Chain A
């Protein structure tokens, strides 16, 4: 019997609108804080007023006396259940390692009188109304035995020897912390051209539009959380571990998430506060962080201090790269991110060393923030490459092509696919890049100094195990599910496209559901890996379901719609898929190139972006419209990172001071020109069954470098310390 082929290109590759777009713009999409609950009470956290020390006493009486306040919970009376894990390593002053603990450090919440970081919750007020809880939180007063916090990174670098905790690995993929191939020092000493430069990037906060929010409800010893998260299953595990519950006793639901960017991957203390509060009042409790608390109670991108050394021969061929990075972390954690990791892979060079070290600080725990490590790391590398291009007089694209890595420099293996050459060519063409050496200050349109710059982007092609389920119904529809999430990128839509394509059903007949730990297990969304991981599982589940249905209806002639017309009960298939040995056999990376034109006001030092072109190799593009949005979002963040974004900390109190959207600057529409996005690579045949490469973080990586390079071209000034604000440019204009 002949099997009819599924019509190709039915859904994948089409620029479909978001299936949830209408619900979102009409306010019908329920984010975690929007979920109603009968008898709900409201909780507001009280934050420590000092950054380091002990809570000597807390007076909750005025809060308790306020009308509507139900209870105030402190470390003295937090209703941790008896079966919660013992208070291990709480007293250890330094060297705690929260990362890797199943409870993600949640065991520290309201467990003792120590204040470990500014903004640490020391109490939570629960009330009948949000207003009563907010006011009650203001009425709680505490006395502290305060110590002087370590808040000044420059001071810490003067007094501390950067260290490496035993057993350290780079997050998130577990790569080695230090690498070395060849002999970079000797090569640097013998190089015709060298660059040796320090770069710094500041602390930044995610500033998701949707604040962190949790609705917690207990039924006996079963806990349900509607929670703004990036991973329902990992959060389920963390909360279960913190409370000493069997995993199945905890259910986490996140149907809509308004931005994550890494910040909602780990569970922060407020999730436990909500659960403790719900336990204390035996009612559902809702807790939403204020915008101010979004800069103290949750993770952030740590500041980075990098040293980049390049050596090259007379023709610009790289002979040495040394990339050394220092990051601050909390006194009670060892989070270390992969800042120099992509330096190992981007250019062909025989002598390469990279290192990562930590210094301790009285701050909250840092965490992944869009393109963790790569965004600051590639800013430094691509700035240094531009400095080398200037020094050697070689066109910046030519310099990169001279050092093009035809195979993965980290091991003797080919790339799974690499469209970077095409990114340079296509991007340069669309931008109108005139080849030649960098000659700063050569264009002027009063009062603007005009410059252009470019930079590469690179992002590893991560993939993790994932499970999906496909149920085919007699009415010809398919319901596909996985416990992944959609934090704004369009996963509801793109997974349905993969399912429709695989099943050969019309897109309208397929529904994809996500965001519930009761659904098949999926990894944290992050590391740009959701399509490679969950998409592959969706494809496998749909293939199995389709095969079963067609097999059950031999007369359907391979036509699924016809097959479904013959069945009278739903048919379900579940598939778990995991990466194979492709990471050993191939270097798997997405690539890209940024091109931008800036104007620098010669009078005031203000920088404005005039034109932006970005060419990306993201493998197969499931939905060009949503993929473009991903890249545009990344580039806009990159513009903010380059020009304005910076969390400012009071070095006396250790607290962050610019914690509102008026004071923490991110770009507004007026800052952003039209951004031209083009994808260059048809598909990757080796990375995963779908042929995709992650694009969620590709857009931000390299953007700040391209802008810094354009500022140099415009002004002749090289700014090594982000953001490139007028005060830094003025001194030399």
Chain B
């Protein structure tokens, strides 16, 4: 492994000071970053361990929903019955992610920042603009079975791999972020991930030194009636071929008051299906509406050579999810 320094500050201020060094990165659970350093996909000069910073853990009920510390472990939130009751899709997305061992280690904040599983990102002998800007995109001519059908550019078609963020953007989650200057700000999660465009090496809009400190998820009727469905070849420990987070608020007469839809395994970033949501709202909860939503969901899909199945799979999964919701 490439040598790096390890800093272990015990305060937010200490972390901010430690992360100033060029090439410094934060580490929380370490489940992704250690792997990426070993694979040569990340080359930090220094890892700043944030686990000793107080106040970044815990799941708290707030007036509008929940506030979850960035250092809460995936397993902690997955086991939280109050979150499970208020927003089943969020908890299901965690329970279906990774493995028990990884969920015990991985932090909520870090999970949102998980980098792509595009195989070329971890293969230094292949071009990957996300790993090495300007080196090309091997997936363009190579294996693109897992590649994105939404949000791709000529430079990159790597899928955002996570589950939790898919459920969270459907329900308008927000992030608390501490800047390197020590200022706190609030940002919609939907603004966190950036489309690859010409700079796929930049996964997010975070500035150097920015640290996610907490997550806020507003409660809603549609979050209460929600589900996260993950489609994959094997029953556990696999990234989604396609996943769908869905929430509905249906009135007594069967009309949809509110609809929330987002998809994983298909976009270069967590993919909210806004048009499909709009098409559902105000319509009767039934086959016609589901089919129309599914058509709209894939309207902008641009499949590659080996991943066209994702278009059909997303439509089918979306309809199945709505049917059961």
Inter-subunit contact A671/B125 (CB<8 Å): no
Contact among B38, B309, B319, B320 with A726 in the assembled complex (CB-CB below 8 Å): B309
Check: B138 CB closer than 8 A to any chain A CB: yes
Check: A608 CB closer than 8 A to any chain B CB: yes
Inter-subunit contact B125/A49 (CB<8 Å): yes
Check: A131 CB closer than 8 A to any chain B CB: yes
| A663-690 vs B, Cβ < 8 Å mask (1 yes, 0 no) | 1010111110000000000000000000
Check: B292 CB closer than 8 A to any chain A CB: no
Contacts of B2 in A (CB 8 A): 135, 138
| B209-250 vs A, Cβ < 8 Å mask (1 yes, 0 no) | 000000000000000000000011111111101100000000
Check: A730 CB closer than 8 A to any chain B CB: yes
Check: A429 CB closer than 8 A to any chain B CB: no
Contacts of A651 in B (CB 8 A): 141-142
Inter-subunit contact A652/B233 (CB<8 Å): no
Inter-subunit contact A135/B3 (CB<8 Å): yes
- CA A49 to CA B117, docked complex, whole Å: 21
Query: Chain B: which residue is nearest A51 at the CB level?
Result: B125
Contact among A131, A134, A135, A730 with B309 in the assembled complex (CB-CB below 8 Å): A730
| B113-139 vs A, Cβ < 8 Å mask (1 yes, 0 no) | 000010110110110000000000010
Q: Tell me, rounded to whole Å, the shortest Cβ–Cβ distance linking A75 to chain B.
A: 19
Interface residues of B, CB < 8 Å — how many?
36
- CA A516 to CA B46, docked complex, whole Å: 46
Contacts of A653 in B (CB 8 A): 125-126, 138, 142
Inter-subunit contact A655/B126 (CB<8 Å): yes
CB-CB contacts below 8 Å: A124-151 with B: 131, 134-135, 138
- CA A657 to CA B143, docked complex, whole Å: 8
Contact among A655, A660, A726 with B233 in the assembled complex (CB-CB below 8 Å): A726
| Binding site secondary structure of chain A | loop
Inter-subunit contact A650/B143 (CB<8 Å): yes
Contacts of A134 in B (CB 8 A): 1, 38
- CA A657 to CA B158, docked complex, whole Å: 14
Inter-subunit contact B313/A730 (CB<8 Å): yes
Inter-subunit contact B317/A655 (CB<8 Å): no
Query: Given A603-B316, A730-B309, A663 and B119 touching (CB < 8 A)?
Result: yes
Inter-subunit contact B145/A730 (CB<8 Å): no
Query: Given A650-B142, A651-B142, A644 and B320 touching (CB < 8 A)?
Result: no
CB-CB contacts below 8 Å: A630-671 with B: 643-644, 648-653, 655, 657-658, 660, 662-663, 665, 667-671
Check: B191 CB closer than 8 A to any chain A CB: no
Inter-subunit contact B126/A604 (CB<8 Å): no
Inter-subunit contact A652/B320 (CB<8 Å): no
Check: A725 CB closer than 8 A to any chain B CB: yes
| Binding site secondary structure of chain B | loop
CB-CB contacts below 8 Å: B1-59 with A: 1-3, 38-40
Inter-subunit contact B233/A604 (CB<8 Å): no
Contacts of B40 in A (CB 8 A): 138
Contact among A49, A650, A723 with B138 in the assembled complex (CB-CB below 8 Å): A650
Contacts of B39 in A (CB 8 A): 292
Inter-subunit contact B236/A657 (CB<8 Å): no
Query: Given A657-B142, A725-B233, A663 and B117 touching (CB < 8 A)?
Result: yes
Q: Tell me, rounded to whole Å, the shortest Cβ–Cβ distance linking B229 to chain A.
A: 9
Query: Chain A: which residue is nearest B235 at the CB level?
Result: A670
Residue from A134, A135, A651, A726 whose CB has the most chain B CB atoms within 10 Å: A726
Check: B80 CB closer than 8 A to any chain A CB: no
Contacts of A662 in B (CB 8 A): 117, 237-239
Inter-subunit contact A447/B320 (CB<8 Å): yes
Q: Tell me, rounded to whole Å, the shortest Cβ–Cβ distance linking B207 to chain A.
A: 30
Q: Tell me, rounded to whole Å, the shortest Cβ–Cβ distance linking B2 to chain A.
A: 6
Check: A434 CB closer than 8 A to any chain B CB: no
Contacts of B300 in A (CB 8 A): none
CB-CB contacts below 8 Å: A422-466 with B: 447
Inter-subunit contact A606/B142 (CB<8 Å): no
- CA A669 to CA B99, docked complex, whole Å: 12
Contacts of B319 in A (CB 8 A): 603
CB-CB contacts below 8 Å: A557-609 with B: 603-606, 608
- CA A731 to CA B319, docked complex, whole Å: 16
- CA A730 to CA B312, docked complex, whole Å: 8
Query: Chain B: which residue is nearest A733 at the CB level?
Result: B316
Contacts of A726 in B (CB 8 A): 231, 233, 241, 309, 313
Query: Given A644-B234, A658-B119, A131 and B1 touching (CB < 8 A)?
Result: yes
Query: Chain A: which residue is nearest B39 at the CB level?
Result: A292
Check: A727 CB closer than 8 A to any chain B CB: yes
- CA A727 to CA B311, docked complex, whole Å: 10
Query: Given A131-B1, A665-B234, A665-B238, A603 and B317 touching (CB < 8 A)?
Result: yes
- CA A652 to CA B123, docked complex, whole Å: 14
Inter-subunit contact B235/A668 (CB<8 Å): yes
- CA A135 to CA B1, docked complex, whole Å: 5
Inter-subunit contact B235/A608 (CB<8 Å): yes
Contacts of A131 in B (CB 8 A): 1
Inter-subunit contact A605/B1 (CB<8 Å): no
Inter-subunit contact A671/B234 (CB<8 Å): yes
- CA A400 to CA B165, docked complex, whole Å: 52
- CA A480 to CA B193, docked complex, whole Å: 65
Inter-subunit contact A650/B126 (CB<8 Å): yes
Query: Given A652-B141, A671-B234, A657 and B120 touching (CB < 8 A)?
Result: yes
Query: Given A605-B313, A653-B138, A726-B309, A668 and B126 touching (CB < 8 A)?
Result: no
- CA A475 to CA B138, docked complex, whole Å: 68
- CA A652 to CA B316, docked complex, whole Å: 33
Inter-subunit contact B141/A657 (CB<8 Å): no
Q: Tell me, rounded to whole Å, the shortest Cβ–Cβ distance linking B58 to chain A.
A: 30
Query: Chain A: which residue is nearest B306 at the CB level?
Result: A727
Inter-subunit contact A604/B320 (CB<8 Å): yes
Q: Tell me, rounded to whole Å, the shortest Cβ–Cβ distance linking B268 to chain A.
A: 19
Query: Chain A: which residue is nearest B118 at the CB level?
Result: A657
| B140-180 vs A, Cβ < 8 Å mask (1 yes, 0 no) | 01110100000000000000000000000000000000000
Inter-subunit contact B142/A652 (CB<8 Å): yes
| B94-112 vs A, Cβ < 8 Å mask (1 yes, 0 no) | 0000000000000000000
Q: Tell me, rounded to whole Å, the shortest Cβ–Cβ distance linking B263 to chain A.
A: 13
Contacts of A138 in B (CB 8 A): 2, 40
Contacts of B234 in A (CB 8 A): 643-644, 665, 667-668, 670-671
Contacts of A292 in B (CB 8 A): 39
- CA A725 to CA B2, docked complex, whole Å: 38
Query: Chain A: which residue is nearest B321 at the CB level?
Result: A603
- CA A391 to CA B122, docked complex, whole Å: 48
- CA A652 to CA B119, docked complex, whole Å: 14
Query: Chain B: which residue is nearest A119 at the CB level?
Result: B125
Contacts of A650 in B (CB 8 A): 120, 126, 138, 142-143
Contact among A604, A652, A658, A731 with B317 in the assembled complex (CB-CB below 8 Å): A604
- CA A648 to CA B316, docked complex, whole Å: 26
Inter-subunit contact B316/A604 (CB<8 Å): yes
Contacts of B119 in A (CB 8 A): 648, 657-658, 663
Residue from A131, A138, A651, A662 whose CB has the most chain B CB atoms within 10 Å: A662
Inter-subunit contact B233/A665 (CB<8 Å): yes
Q: Tell me, rounded to whole Å, the shortest Cβ–Cβ distance linking A673 to chain B.
A: 11
Contacts of B122 in A (CB 8 A): 660
Which residues of A come within 8 Å of B, CB atoms?
49, 131, 134-135, 138, 292, 447, 603-606, 608, 643-644, 648-653, 655, 657-658, 660, 662-663, 665, 667-671, 723, 725-727, 730-731
Contact sample, A vs B, 30 pairs, CB 8 Å cutoff? A131-B1, A134-B1, A138-B40, A292-B39, A447-B320, A603-B317, A603-B319, A603-B320, A604-B316, A643-B234, A644-B233, A644-B234, A650-B120, A650-B138, A651-B142, A655-B125, A657-B120, A657-B126, A662-B117, A662-B238, A662-B239, A663-B119, A665-B234, A667-B234, A668-B234, A668-B235, A670-B235, A730-B313, A730-B316, A731-B309
Additional pairs, 6, CB under 8 Å, beyond known A650-B142, A671-B235:
A655-B126, A657-B142, A660-B122, A670-B235, A671-B234, A723-B233
Task: List the 9 closest pairs (A to B, CB-CB), nearest first.
Answer: A727-B309, A670-B235, A603-B320, A657-B119, A670-B236, A650-B142, A49-B125, A644-B233, A604-B231
